């Protein structure tokens, strides 16, 4: 290496950027795989940097005998990780975006949304029912899901089936399916199964016509301290423009409806020929009552590194300074418009009843 090269290497080594970047994650195997994926992307972009992964358990990981919708806590899988961020014990945290509430606690922001995997839900069948579909499962077969959203939509579609809560990480849920004779099938996110390398267990993918997916499903979000400009700059290059805009629309829809995991709310977004399409829906807990609307907005998908304004406030908890503001606002407005349309048609009543019933049981 030439003298100049040595000097550059020394300068890089001595620069503040050379500090070890500490990355927080949940302890589950899937969370670790997702975090490793993000760290690998960052290492490729910043070969001189070092990364340390710090794994911890969250409330949602510890309370395994209660349905998620009953725990009454918005940040089930994020709170402990956010405490570590707040105490400067970690510099960034990798989450499944669908676990992040649409309103983050003060001082935090989502600094990157990575390219989305398949956002649809998948059906994994008990070995004795391999080759079946939900439609062809025997009468009164029990299907496991921890999601009110999935259960409400599928009860409506497949009235011959029974739906029962199943909790635990992916490994635990698959073990319960295979070893207990309780469930004929379980519903999981396709993206999680793909990341775990378990594509061979997918017996059926539920397309949006059959089951709309959760807001942000299939995407990874990187949460950081809102004022940590160095880390915001570091992770901001991971933003995938199309995924970002779709997820801004989805999160704006959910926030305007004031939905969470205690009510069945679901979405489907696509981007085609400069148009962003958002379908949003709400359901009663038993799926008997539902409402769905689709709207579109003209959105130019920007190149990754166009400069946006420097002092952007967050949109639905997301900071994306390297993506122009116009498309982000158009995506947010689309989400709000679909939510308003549903509310004007009576969606609030469906959601209020669902909340009350969920709280009562």
How far is residue 9's CA from residue 25's CA, in Å, rounded to a whole number? 31
5, part of any domain: no
Q: Are 262 and 199 contained in the same domain? A: no
Q: Are 201 and 265 contained in the same domain? A: no
103, part of any domain: yes
How far is residue 68's CA from residue 158's CA, in Å, rounded to a whole number? 23
Please tell me what DSSP assigns to residue 99: G
End position of a domain, from candidates 178, 205, 232: 205
CATH number at residue 157: 3.40.190.10
Q: Are 315 and 256 contained in the same domain? A: yes
Q: Are 258 and 350 contained in the same domain? A: yes
- The DSSP bridge pattern shows strands 92-96 and 220-225 to be antiparallel
Give the number of domains in the chain: 2
For residues 159-186, one letter each, b for 16 or more C-beta atoms within 10 angstroms of the residue's C-beta and e for the rest, the string is eebebebbbebbeebbebbeeeeebbbb
Domain that holds residue 179: 121-205
pLDDT at 300: 78
Q: Are 244 and 354 contained in the same domain? A: yes
How far is residue 343's CA from residue 128's CA, in Å, rounded to a whole number? 44
End position of a domain, from candidates 172, 205, 238: 205
How far is residue 291's CA from residue 126's CA, in Å, rounded to a whole number? 32
139, part of any domain: yes
End position of a domain, from candidates 205, 230, 246: 205
Beta-bridge partners for 164:
144
pLDDT at 4: 42
Q: Could you read off the pLDDT tens digit of each residue along the chain, which spans 361 residues?
A: 444 444 334 334 434 446 899 999 988 899 999 999 999 999 999 999 999 999 987 654 444 444 444 434 444 456 788 888 999 999 999 999 998 989 999 999 999 999 999 999 999 999 999 999 999 999 999 999 989 999 999 999 999 999 999 988 899 999 999 999 999 999 999 999 999 999 999 999 999 999 999 999 999 999 999 999 999 999 999 999 999 999 999 999 999 998 665 689 999 999 999 999 999 999 999 999 999 999 999 997 766 544 544 555 789 999 999 899 999 999 999 999 999 999 999 999 999 888 888 777 6
Q: Are 168 and 247 contained in the same domain? A: no
Q: Are 125 and 113 contained in the same domain? A: no
For residues 14-44, one letter each, b for 16 or more C-beta atoms within 10 angstroms of the residue's C-beta and e for the rest, the string is eeeeeeebbbbbbebebbeebbbebbebbee
Other Cβ atoms closer than 10 A to 355: 17
Q: Are 32 and 165 contained in the same domain? A: no
Longest CA span, the chain: 76
Angle made by CA atoms 5, 10, 16, in degrees to the nearest 5: 130
14, part of any domain: no
Q: Are 157 and 225 contained in the same domain? A: no
282, part of any domain: yes
How far is residue 206's CA from residue 339's CA, in Å, rounded to a whole number? 24
268, part of any domain: yes
Q: Are 197 and 59 contained in the same domain? A: no
| Whether the Cβ atoms of residue 204 and residue 133 lie closer than 8 Å to each other | yes
Q: Are 220 and 201 contained in the same domain? A: no
Q: Which two tokens stand for residue 62?
A: 């510890």
Task: Name the residue with tokens 């970690």.
Answer: 90
For residues 98-137, one letter each, b for 16 or more C-beta atoms within 10 angstroms of the residue's C-beta and e for the rest, the string is bbbbbebeeebbbbbbbebbbbbbbbbbbeebeebebeeb
pLDDT at 77: 56
The residues assigned a catalytic role are 99
4, part of any domain: no
102, part of any domain: yes
CATH number at residue 251: 3.30.160.40
Q: Which two tokens stand for residue 144?
A: 């496991």
Q: Are 77 and 100 contained in the same domain? A: yes
């Amino acid at each position: 290496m030439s003298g100049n090269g040595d000097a550059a290497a020394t300068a890089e080594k001595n620069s503040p950027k050379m500090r070890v970047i500490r990355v927080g994650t949940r302890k589950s195997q899937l969370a670790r795989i997702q975090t490793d994926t993000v760290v690998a992307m960052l290492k490729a972009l910043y070969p001189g940097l070092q990364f340390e992964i710090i794994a911890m358990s969250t409330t949602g990981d510890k309370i395994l005998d209660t349905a998620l919708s009953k725990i009454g806590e918005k940040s089930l899988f994020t709170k402990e990780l956010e405490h570590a961020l707040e105490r400067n014990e970690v510099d960034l945290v990798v989450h499944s975006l669908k676990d992040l509430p649409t309103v983050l606690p003060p001082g935090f922001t989502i600094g990157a949304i990575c390219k989305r995997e398949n956002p649809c839900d998948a059906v994994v069948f008990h070995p004795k029912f391999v080759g079946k579909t939900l439609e062809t499962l025997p009468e009164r077969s029990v299907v496991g899901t921890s999601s009110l959203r999935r259960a409400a939509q599928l009860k409506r579609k497949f009235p011959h089936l029974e739906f029962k809560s199943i909790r635990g990480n992916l490994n635990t849920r698959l073990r319960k399916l295979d070893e207990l004779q309780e469930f004929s099938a379980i519903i999981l996110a396709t993206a999680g199964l793909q990341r775990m390398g378990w594509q061979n267990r997918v017996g059926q993918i539920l397309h949006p016509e059959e089951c709309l997916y959760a807001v942000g499903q299939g995407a990874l979000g990187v949460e950081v301290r809102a004022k940590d400009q160095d880390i915001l700059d570091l992770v901001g290059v991971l933003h995938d423009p199309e995924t970002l805009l779709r997820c801004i629309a989805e999160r704006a829809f959910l926030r305007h409806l004031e939905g969470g995991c205690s009510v069945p709310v679901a979405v489907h977004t696509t981007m085609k020929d400069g148009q962003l399409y958002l379908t949003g829906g709400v359901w009663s807990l038993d799926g008997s009552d539902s409402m769905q609307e689709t709207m579109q907005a003209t959105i130019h998908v920007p190149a990754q590194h166009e400069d946006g304004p420097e002092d952007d406030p967050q949109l639905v908890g997301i900071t994306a300074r390297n993506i122009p503001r116009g498309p982000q606002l158009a995506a947010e407005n689309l989400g709000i418009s679909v939510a308003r349309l549903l509310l004007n048609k009576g969606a609030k009543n469906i959601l209020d009843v669902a909340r009350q019933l969920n709280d009562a049981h």
